[in-house]
Chains A and B, each alone.
Chain A
Amino acid sequence: MSVSEQDVRHVAALARLGLADDRVQSLVGELNGILAHMDVLQQVDIGGASLDPDATQGMRMRDDVPNPIALHRAREEFAPSMRDGFFLVPRLSTHGTAEGADDEGEG
């Protein structure tokens, strides 16, 4: 398996990383160089390795009692852009007319 320029552009888009063209080129080489070392894993006999979740510990749960982690500074102090208590982002160019109808949004 080797990583193509198209692959790099695809994962960069998935990860919302803007990459200059020359950077894409060098990353193709870097990622292939790294992944070449991973090929050894394909040869490993994993017959004895279970992938079932390790359920020995289990999960501690908390009671349904309001007890938020206190914030020692206002949201406005760390947010890049807030108005009337909302976080502001550039208007979504892809959004539909109705709320919740966004292509990217999930139900």
Chain B
Amino acid sequence: MSDASLLSRPVADVAADIAAGRLSPDAALEASLAASDRVNAGPGGLNAVLYSDAEGARTDVQRSSHPGSSLLAGIPVAIKDNIATLRMPTSCGSKILEGYVSPFEATVIARLRAAGAVLPMKTNMDEFAMGSSTENSAYGVTKHPLDHTRVPGGSSGGSAAIVAAGVTRIALGSETGGSVRQPAAFCGIVGVKPTYGRVSRHGLVAFASSLDQVGVFGQSVDDAALGLQVVAGADALDSTTVDVPVGAYRAARNDATAQPLAGVVVGRPVEYFPDSLDPRMCSLLDRSADHLRSLGAEVRDVSLPHTSLAIPVYYIVAPAEASSNLARFDGVRYGLRVEGDGLLGMYEATRSQGFGPEVTRRILLGTYVLSAGYYDAYYKRAMAVRRLIAADFTKVFASGVHVLLAPTTPSTAFVAGSRKDPYEMYMSDIFTATANLAGVPAMSQPIGRIDGLPVGGQLLASHFDEATMFRVAYALERALGSEAHT
């Protein structure tokens, strides 16, 4: 028996009820499993779920007694297919890892389970997280929950669609250049990319190691903040995590005062509002800015002058690292092996048949920019410009600005198959890749709609100041109310 109304209640409340015995331990799980069956499979389904483990989740939910944290007691969380889990495959949306079940699990998965969460499904994604539409999966395209002709965004499109469709209220995704925030914006939900080093990457299959970070989707700001609260924190198994105390992300959730943002300075980076930006999107952001002012914040224009260079830099650095990270898929120890003429033939057959066209393109691009004679012109130069992009943020935040408000994407969800040119697709990340390059935290939340399609407003903060970012997000969500979805 499942109670669909549970899915409309905040995760924190449901978990508290389950932990206190007011709800049965499997109540939330059963509601999610039923919803998943309804929306996912078949010709009319979203194709957002790649693998499910209903029985395993049912066993876990009965067994778990939440001796430690019960923040997510009995709460089902959907997991992107590039995060290692022990029971379901971790295939990264790729043929080269078809059927591969990881023999170890990611730190974020261990932390979710320790907080009482259950993991009933793995979600579809662009192959190895390379894409902005979830059209690049070896396992088929995921559809936008509100309009099946459109894409949910990507690369974490499966997780975004699952949350937007009301199957789970929290899901994990991963970000390299916007892969959580962009689909969150397209699908009208909340998506958070934490500071680089805030969440362990142990068990996250690497795309571009210096940019990758596990991100959290939530149906509300509080769902996302709760999810991040559970998974955040340094990890001995990831040397790039940092020993900075995890903030109290949910401190402002109940602040219903008139001026909750008094003293907060919100920057409006002018480069994120180019003349070419859809005026309707611009006015939705203006409306949000007005709300922030009325909540007590000061909103001022700021400049991040190197913003336009983010995409060229990103599409050198990310493919370069990807070409390296994906070298391990060689048919020797795990994953697909296609026999060929000798060892070289095996390598080439395995990798050419195992990787799809976008992954192949990026491996070649990345190999090229690292190769002898081109390293200085491309990779080294891109890394220098990356420093300039990061310095832009440092300067703005040093000038007294606490958070930045910007659009998440230059457009709403586009029609599947409409972006054929690779670079045109890459431009989907134009407002999001900066945060990955600079390592700062950022999130997207729904701020209204255009032609019935969701628009995301992006908040960016300084390194490890997720708490302030959430404080503004809570206030904005409360002020917008139903406007967020109209």
Contact = CB atoms under 8 A, between A and B. Distances in A.
B312 A37 contact: yes
Contacts of A37: 311-312, 315, 423
A77 B316 CA distance: 36
Q: Name, among A49, A60, A79, the residue most crowded by chain B CB atoms within 10 Å (CB to CB).
A: A49
A interface majority secondary structure? loop
B104 A72 contact: yes
Contact of B100 (A7, A35, A78): A78
A26 to B, nearest CB: 9
Contacts of A70: 104
B340 A18 contact: yes
Nearest to A44: B385
B384 A46 contact: yes
A37 B423 CA distance: 8
B347 interface: yes
B343 A92 contact: yes
Interface of A: 1, 3, 7-8, 10-12, 14-19, 27, 30-31, 33-35, 37-38, 40-42, 44, 46, 48-51, 57, 59-60, 62, 69-73, 75, 77-81, 87, 89-93
Nearest to A88: B332
B150 to A, nearest CB: 25
B337 A38 contact: no
Choose among B330, B355, B363, B380 the residue with the greatest number of A CB atoms under 10 Å from its CB: B363
A34 B422 contact: yes
A78 B101 contact: yes
A84 B312 CA distance: 49
Given A10-B371, A11-B368, A41-B309, 11 more contacts: A1-B374, A1-B377, A7-B368, A16-B351, A17-B348, A17-B351, A31-B361, A34-B365, A44-B306, A57-B197, A80-B332
Interface residues of B, number: 67
Main secondary structure of the interface of B (DSSP, over half): helix
Q: 4 smallest A-B Cβ distances: which pairs?
A: A18-B348, A80-B337, A18-B352, A71-B103
Contacts of A40: 308-309, 312
Nearest to B308: A40
A2 to B, nearest CB: 11
24 contacts: A1-B374, A7-B368, A10-B371, A16-B344, A16-B348, A18-B351, A19-B360, A30-B361, A33-B423, A34-B426, A40-B309, A42-B377, A46-B384, A46-B385, A50-B387, A57-B197, A62-B236, A71-B104, A73-B101, A78-B100, A80-B334, A80-B335, A80-B337, A92-B343
B388 A48 contact: yes
A15 B422 contact: no
Contacts of B385: 41, 44, 46, 49
Given A17-B348, A17-B364, A70-B104, A34 B381 contact: no
A15 B313 contact: no
B200 to A, nearest CB: 13
B351 A78 contact: no
Nearest to B364: A11
A73 B368 CA distance: 37
Given A11-B368, A18-B352, A93 B342 contact: yes
